[in-house]
Amino acid sequence: MLSLKKYLTEGLLQFTILLSLIGVRVDVDTYLTSQLPPLREIILGPSSAYTQTQFHNLRNTLDGYGVHPKSIDLDNYFTARRLLSQVRALDRFQVPTTEVNAWLVHRDPEGSVSGSQPSSGLTLESSSGLQDVTGPDNGVRESETEQGFSEDLEDLGAVAPPVSGDLTKEDIDLIDILWRQDIDLGAGREIFDYSHRQKEQDVDKDLQDGAEQDDTWSGEGAEALARNLLVDGETGESFPAQFPADISSITEAVPSESEPPGLQNNLLSPLLTGTDSPFDLEQQWQDLMSIMEMQAMEVNTSTNEILYSAPPGDPLSTNYSLAPNTPINQNVSLHQASLGGCSQDFSLFSPEVESLPVASGSTLLPLVPSNSTSLNSTFGSTNLAGLFFPPQLNGTANDTAGPELPDPLGGLLDEAMLDEISLMDLAIEEGFNPVQASQLEEEFDSDSGLSLDSSHSPSSLSSSEGSSSSSSSSSSSSSSSSSSSSSSSSSASSSFSEEGAVGYSSDSETLDLEEAEGAVGYQPEYSKFCRMSYQDPSQLSCLPYLEHVGHNHTYNMAPSALDSADLPPPSALKKGSKEKQADFLDKQMSRDEHRARAMKIPFTNDKIINLPVEEFNELLSKYQLSEAQLSLIRDIRRRGKNKMAAQNCRKRKLDTILNLERDVEDLQRDKARLLREKVEFLRSLRQMKQKVQSLYQEVFGRLRDENGRPYSPSQYALQYAGDGSVLLIPRTLADQQARRQERKPKDRRK
């Protein structure tokens, strides 16, 4: 199934690339943005938890293992990445089986412990638990099932003794008595040996059961990863794919070459090969992009190929050979020296060149060749020829007017066009250097950074925060569980409910801990809390104490001491295992637990830590505790709370870092997008310039003086007036204008 998904994903990727190559833009971004957050949450879990309430709620809702304050999803969160592979290999919900195994311990005192013979009731619970485990539902459902299961555990704990049908009435009575003794005296934790042993047998089954779910789950994860890759590839592709689209659109607007290309190219070449830095940089950018466009170009129409296979030696025309074919050239009809027709032609530039003064028929001053003197009246406005003025404007005209001539009208676009366009020119000169171009390319690649986008989609952020913020009860889960357990004096059921609420694990570590501790444990912390419950006599369930039926009841002794003091065990193997377990548990026990045990604290550290103040004081008042005990209890409470606070703090800190990282990635994406847009703007600007240039050439070339001869480009230039009129002015004046206008941008820069 995993391979199938991978197959489909790769197929989708290839299909998307193909679509992008043929010009169809597949906007995977949005799709991924909407799709990935949940996947990411599946993988990493909701991330942000800046308040305690947040992750407490997450703990409650995410995996359902979070009733205990220490079983915050914090651990899941912290270790999600590290444990992802392990989690995939292990099912998330093995606890039911674990608990069932723990119940099997009941049979141990009789020496008839066998995991293959669970009681019917247990079997039922086990099966239901397994159903929950293998259920294909999402995390919410899982949490529900697990919560329900914890309730089941409570029920189990309440009815467990009767369930063990193999026990005789005397046994049950004995158990009952010993149970009460355990409650009074405390119980060791080696009681879980059998649960451990039993669990080892069931682990394999759990693994098998979980394998299916893991397949699907990890399949989704892999799919998410594949989507990331897809995004990378897609964004890397989509962007280049836009260029063919642009080019094609441009090409559509350009009829087939109806004019001698040679002339056009010659006319353009001075400009295009000029030292205009923007174009150089653009050229470099185009080089970069052309590499990326290679495939797309191959797929593109032959028109584009023709377009891009412009005469060599003319770099810009190679890339920007659109201008010669600009329809404006054909539409212009200036057989008289009037520019009336220009208005329509220039209108083609709109809306992008709205600010470009359009020589409307009404405002356009007639440029009758014989009436060149009238130019002076409107002289002084924007210069037209500068940027585009081709030295060989007319092949028939003065070729001597060549490139060495200054461009008196060079400021046309900067002045006549939008300021932002000039700013873009500025940006071209200043910001769009080759280095940046390479960076831009990288960013476009990393715009595969959209993979980052996908992985850190805003929705995921919001969802995580939303989920976390929705949990206002903070440690209510823990406190509620503990309080409920404390409120009920029936230690067996209550403790069991605690335990059941504690140790649900979706991590592989669970397995180890379960193997080690037999019943519970999500991560060391959870296990420790569970141990807190175990070590406390009042919290011991009937499950553990049965372990000591027929043994001594020095529950407050260290497990190792217990083992040494134990009566001859049924078997050496059993003893060895028990010692192992005891040592492990002893090592896993926190210092406070040891202290509490040493001081014979009559309740669990869990209660000590998590009970509300009032209940905590009540609890203390119920016992006659020495000053040392009280002091220890207060220390335990303080340390325990601080421990949780430290965990919360660290989680918040990590979340902050992750969010900042995500913000940085978002900003990088935005930057890449803006740069991309900038490139597009520059491209359109270039096209407009080329159109203007073509128009200029067309108009200028059709102008005739009173003698019917064309004007020399070296002596005359067209210039836009502020009122939209187009003037034919002498070159000298145009040069002055150009110089004057060149100063303005420089001043503006300062």
Q: How far is the CB of 44 from DNA (least distance, A)?
A: 14
The DSSP output letter for 324 is: G
Total number of residues shown for the chain: 750
Q: How far is the CB of 498 from DNA (least distance, A)?
A: 17
Task: Identify the residue among 239, 432, 616, 696 touching DNA (CB under 7 A).
Answer: 616
Which of the ranges 75-83, 169-177, 253-261, 296-304 carries the binding residues for DNA, by CB under 7 A? 75-83
**Residue 594 lies near DNA (rule: CB under 7 A):** no
- The closest of 675, 69, 747, 171 to 431, measured between CA atoms, is 675
The residue whose two tokens read 């145009």 is 734
Alpha carbons 287 and 154: distance in angstroms, whole number = 71
Which of the ranges 33-41, 71-79, 182-190, 341-349 carries the binding residues for DNA, by CB under 7 A? 71-79
Alpha carbons 98 and 530: distance in angstroms, whole number = 13
Q: 667 Cβ partners below 8 Å, 6+ apart?
A: none
Based on CB atoms, which residue is closest to DNA, 385 or 516? 516
**Residue 528 lies near DNA (rule: CB under 7 A):** yes
**Residue 60 lies near DNA (rule: CB under 7 A):** no
**Residue 649 lies near DNA (rule: CB under 7 A):** yes
**Residue 640 lies near DNA (rule: CB under 7 A):** yes
Based on CB atoms, which residue is closest to DNA, 523 or 725? 523
User: How many amino acids of this chain bind DNA (CB under 7 A)?
Assistant: 35
Based on CB atoms, which residue is closest to DNA, 637 or 686? 637
Binding-site string for DNA from residue 429 to residue 468, where x marks contact by CB under 7 A and - marks none: ----------------------------------------
Which sign does the torsion angle of CA 344, 386, 405, 373 carry? positive
Alpha carbons 671 and 286: distance in angstroms, whole number = 19
Based on CB atoms, which residue is closest to DNA, 272 or 633? 633
**Residue 569 lies near DNA (rule: CB under 7 A):** no
The stretches of 558-600 forming alpha helices (DSSP H) are 559-565, 572-588, 591-598
Here the tokens at position 631 are 């002091």
**Residue 643 lies near DNA (rule: CB under 7 A):** yes
**Residue 645 lies near DNA (rule: CB under 7 A):** yes
Which sign does the torsion angle of CA 330, 331, 336, 338 carry? negative
| Interacting residues with DNA between 596 and 615 (CB under 7 A) | 612-613
Task: Identify the residue among 246, 635, 705, 742 touching DNA (CB under 7 A).
Answer: 635
Burial group, residue 289, by CB count within 10 angstroms (0-12, 13-18, 19+): buried
DSSP 613-667: HHHHHHHHHHS---HHHHHHHHHHHHHHHHHHHHHHHHHHHHHHHHHHHHHHHHH
Here the tokens at position 320 are 């920007």
Based on CB atoms, which residue is closest to DNA, 90 or 230? 90
Q: Is the peptide bond before 351 cis (omega within 30 degrees of 0)?
A: yes
Task: Identify the residue among 16, 300, 471, 475 touching DNA (CB under 7 A).
Answer: 475
Here the tokens at position 667 are 């900003």
**Residue 629 lies near DNA (rule: CB under 7 A):** no
Phi, psi dihedral angles at 271 (to 5 degrees): -70, -45
Q: How far is the CB of 71 from DNA (least distance, A)?
A: 11
Task: Identify the residue among 642, 670, 674, 706 touching DNA (CB under 7 A).
Answer: 642
Task: Identify the residue among 169, 335, 568, 591 touching DNA (CB under 7 A).
Answer: 591
**Residue 78 lies near DNA (rule: CB under 7 A):** yes
Which of the ranges 200-208, 482-490, 538-546, 640-648 carries the binding residues for DNA, by CB under 7 A? 640-648
Q: How far is the CB of 202 from DNA (least distance, A)?
A: 24
Q: 289 Cβ partners below 8 Å, 6+ apart?
A: 240, 243, 679
Task: Identify the residue among 6, 25, 639, 704 touching DNA (CB under 7 A).
Answer: 639
Task: Identify the residue among 607, 637, 683, 686 touching DNA (CB under 7 A).
Answer: 637
- Taking the CA atoms of the chain, what radius of gyration do you get in angstroms? 40
Burial group, residue 162, by CB count within 10 angstroms (0-12, 13-18, 19+): exposed
Phi, psi dihedral angles at 717 (to 5 degrees): -150, 155
**Residue 142 lies near DNA (rule: CB under 7 A):** no
> For residue 511, how many other CB atoms are within 10 A of its CB?
22
**Residue 525 lies near DNA (rule: CB under 7 A):** yes
Which of the ranges 193-201, 518-526, 666-674, 675-683 carries the binding residues for DNA, by CB under 7 A? 518-526
Based on CB atoms, which residue is closest to DNA, 307 or 636? 636
Task: Identify the residue among 75, 182, 563, 566 touching DNA (CB under 7 A).
Answer: 75
**Residue 592 lies near DNA (rule: CB under 7 A):** yes
**Residue 666 lies near DNA (rule: CB under 7 A):** no
In our burial notation (b when 16+ CB lie closer than 10 A, e otherwise), range 698-727 reads: bbbbbbbbeeeebbbbbebbbbbbeebbbb
Residues contributing to the site for DNA (CB under 7 A): 51-52, 75, 78-79, 474-475, 523-525, 528, 587, 590-592, 612-613, 616, 635, 637-650, 652-653
